[in-house]
Amino acid sequence: MKVAVCVKHVPDAAAPRRFDPSSKRLDRSGEGTLNSFDVHAVEEALRIKDRDGEGEVVLVSLGPVGAGDSLRKALAMGADRGLLVSDDAAAGSDLVATSRLLAAALERENADLVLFGQQSSDADGAVLWAAVADRLRRPLLSQAAELELGDARVRAKRQTEFGYDVIEAPLPAVVAVSDAINEPRYPSLKGIMGAKRKPQDTLTAGDLGLAPDHVGEEGSATTVLAFADPPPRGDTTVIEDDGSAAEKIVDFLAERKLL
Amino acid sequence: MSTVVFLEHHEGELLKGALGVLAKAAALGDDSVAGFIAGADVEELAAEAGKYGAQVVYVADDPRLAAPLPQPRVDVLASLVRDEGFDTVLFGASVLAADVAGGLAARLEAGLNWDLVDLERRDGELVGKRPALGDSVYVDVGWRDGPRIALFRPGSFEPEAGGGEPSVERVEARIEDFSLAATMVEQAHEERTGPSIEDADVIVAGGRGLGAPEGFAIVEELAKALGGAVAATRAVVDAGWYPYASQVGQTGKTVAPKLYVAAGISGAIQHKVGMQSSNVIVAINKDRNAPIFEYSDLGVVGDVHEIVPKLTELVRERRGS
């Protein structure tokens, strides 16, 4: 089975992150890392290949040239090859433009299964798979906490606000996995050494048949207007419990008419 | 300007989050505010939507819409938006709503802004407010042109009753083959009493500081006394102490109740992003240096096992129950 995993190179959340006030885009010049949610999707793809004893795991990513670092990390885990869509004209793409680019790249790969992680840690987005599935006209399963494959079908346990659903679809399909689905492996030293020799292709928007005005800011339908500080919280009062803390909490709640 | 709100429902009731978005749409002063309900045997929900401000309710009632799956809903909603010329489509965020909104954006080549906490009209243009980068910055976002699609963070708006009898329009469900390929095998439900955390005005949340799964009993008692819901941190959900549906934080739900009581929660950033927009935060933790005290309105340094049961008792006395 051929599995394509969509992965994103994101600014390291441990370092200070900021928006560039002039371009109004997230500053991606600092240290980047593989989106931690996507690592679970890579792991799930590798487990499918391990179980079948055959198949191919292809990484598909949209990002700056530096995104190759994140692809290498996933290759070190065991993925077979990487496809990076990188184009200056594609910078600043919103959901419609990004899904156009990814869907075009995925059309070329024509995988049996397309996997996504549950969200991006930089944009907090959790909608891309739905847009991509619609463009590919393929069935969609999201928030999968468990995945079963067999007989050209995929079955997922979906976590929702109300509990767990079991959903099934024929392949080819698009699936977004939750980070509860597995514990990802760490790359072995052999994997890290081998990753450098694994194929990594880079394509432009033009290679995918997309005109410059269909991608990037020009091809986007949303805009970023301005930035502001978060609204301030009121003062914080911290008290030590001297045996009367429960009474003090009740008084506090009563004052604010919360009882 | 004409707006349609996606009205999600569960077990015969419209979700509070969707009704809150309906109230927001009405407050923006649109020419007309419509609701969209998709499902099987859902016609009676239309009257309920009217009470909460929908002047027109479009109902797609079809057995193929019985399961809460996104793709058939994208087909029906996309046709409705095109046919009726809606320029704004609003959603209260949920697993289902996010998938419908994402699919709809691609289908209509329309802009989608997500995780919004507010929406306002500025010089005739709609501007959304989105907390970003762990809520450290608030971003004003807009749309190039219609249709404009938005997903709102749970708890952003209160529903407002006081509407009237809506006019109900039946919508024919034209559904693509690929949209019916995914099927619901089993729609399961976790046992739950009291409100869900998305719908609750009061949330009492527990973390590692409770010591053991049994520690949640005191949290449940307090939630019951306050008429609220129980939430949990990722650490205790991962440890199997409490179900995932209650998880608040980066990989769980984002909530904004009127009162959030954090018991035995240190409040690392992953948890903070899920609850910091709560109106009032009260934290109880034995560690004076726990990060949660930095963003609580009232912080209590002490033992949750002593304070929480006492608090429950006092709340019961006060409420006379």
Global pTM reads 0.89
Q: Identify which of B176, B196, B300 has the shortest CB distance to residue A245.
A: B300
Given a cut of 90, whether residue B87 has pLDDT beyond it is yes
Mutate: best of B69, B81, B292, B301, partner A, most A CBs <10 A: B69
Contact B299 A237 (CB under 8 A): yes
CA count, 13 A, side-chain hemisphere, A178: 23
* CB proximity list for A12: less than 8 A, separation 6 or greater: A30, A31, A32, A33
Residue B292 structural domain: 202-319
Which of B137, B222, B64, B16 lies closest to A253, judged by CA? Answer: B222
| Chain B positions in Cβ-Cβ contact with residue A107 (cut-off 8 Å) | none
Residue A21 structural domain: 2-214
A187 vs A189: CA distance, rounded Å: 7
- Tally A–B CB contacts below 8 A: 273
What is the distance in angstroms between the Cα of B195 and the nearest Cα belonging to chain A?
11
pLDDT reported for residue A121: 85
pLDDT reported for residue B145: 83
In terms of domains, do B75 and B15 share one? yes
* Tokens (6 digits) for B97: 């709503």
Which stretches of chain A are assigned E, i.e. beta strand? 2-7, 9-11, 32-34, 56-62, 81-85, 113-116, 140-150, 153-160, 163-170, 173-177, 200-203, 222-228, 237-240
What CATH number is given to the structural domain containing B57? 3.40.50.620
| Chain B positions in Cβ-Cβ contact with residue A169 (cut-off 8 Å) | 181-183
Residue B195 in any domain: the answer is no
Contact B311 A250 (CB under 8 A): yes
Residue B14 in any domain: the answer is yes
Q: Which strand (E) or helix (H) includes residue A68? A: helix A68-77
- In degrees to the nearest 10, what's the CA dihedral of B39, B45, B49, B50? 130
What is the distance in angstroms between the Cα of A102 and the nearest Cα belonging to chain B?
12
pLDDT reported for residue B194: 65
pLDDT reported for residue B256: 86
Closest residue in chain B to residue A131, using alpha carbons only? B103
* Blockwise average pLDDT, block size 10, chain A, 259 residues: 97 85 87 93 98 97 94 98 97 96 98 95 90 98 95 93 91 94 94 96 97 95 93 86 94 92
In terms of domains, do B84 and B130 share one? yes
Q: Which is more confidently placed, B311 or A234?
A: B311
Residue A250 in any domain: the answer is no
What is the distance in angstroms between the Cα of A190 and the nearest Cα belonging to chain B?
31
pLDDT reported for residue B192: 58
In terms of domains, do B29 and B168 share one? yes
pLDDT reported for residue B193: 59
Share of chain B above pLDDT 70, in %: 98
| Chain B positions in Cβ-Cβ contact with residue A122 (cut-off 8 Å) | 133
Residue B260 in any domain: the answer is yes
pLDDT reported for residue A236: 87
Contact B134 A13 (CB under 8 A): yes
Residue B31 in any domain: the answer is yes
Which of A110, A158, A98 lies closest to A4, judged by CA? Answer: A110
Residue B115 in any domain: the answer is yes
The structural domain count of chain A equals: 1
| Chain A positions in Cβ-Cβ contact with residue B284 (cut-off 8 Å) | 245, 249
Q: Identify which of A137, A230, A241 has the shortest CB distance to residue B301.
A: A241
What sign has the CA pseudo-torsion B264, B270, B272, B275?
negative
Under the banding of pLDDT at 50, 70 and 90, the label for residue B196 is: confident
Under the banding of pLDDT at 50, 70 and 90, the label for residue B124 is: confident
Contact B302 A161 (CB under 8 A): no
pLDDT in tens, B226-245: 999 999 998 898 888 998 88
| Residue A209 burial (C-beta neighbours within 10 Å; 0-12, 13-18, 19+) | exposed
Which of B120, B112, B118 lies closest to B130, judged by CA? Answer: B118
Q: Let me know: does A215 contact A100? Beta carbons within 8 Å.
A: yes
Residue B190 in any domain: the answer is no
Residue B107 in any domain: the answer is yes
What is the distance in angstroms between the Cα of B296 and the nearest Cα belonging to chain A?
6
Mapping DSSP onto H, E and C, the string for chain B reads CEEEEECCEECCEECHHHHHHHHHHHHCCCCEEEEEEEECCCCCHHHHHHHCCCCEEEEEECHHHCCCCHHHHHHHHHHHHHHHCCCEEEEECCHHHHHHHHHHHHHHCCEEEEEECEEEEECCEEEEEEEECCCCEEEEEEECCCCEEEEECCCCCCCCCCCCCCEEEECCCCCCCHHHCCEEEEECCCCCCCCCCCCCCEEEEECHHHCCHHHHHHHHHHHHHHCCEEEECHHHHHCCCCCHHHEECCCCECCCCCEEEEECCCCCHHHHHHHCCCCEEEEEECCCCCHHHHHCCEEEECCHHHHHHHHHHHHHHHHCC
Given a cut of 80, whether residue B30 has pLDDT beyond it is no
Q: Let me know: does A142 contact A175? Beta carbons within 8 Å.
A: yes
Contact B111 A224 (CB under 8 A): no
Which of residues 62 through 81 in chain B touch A, CB cutoff 8 A?
68-71, 74
Amino acid residing at B304:
V
What CATH number is given to the structural domain containing A28? 3.40.50.620
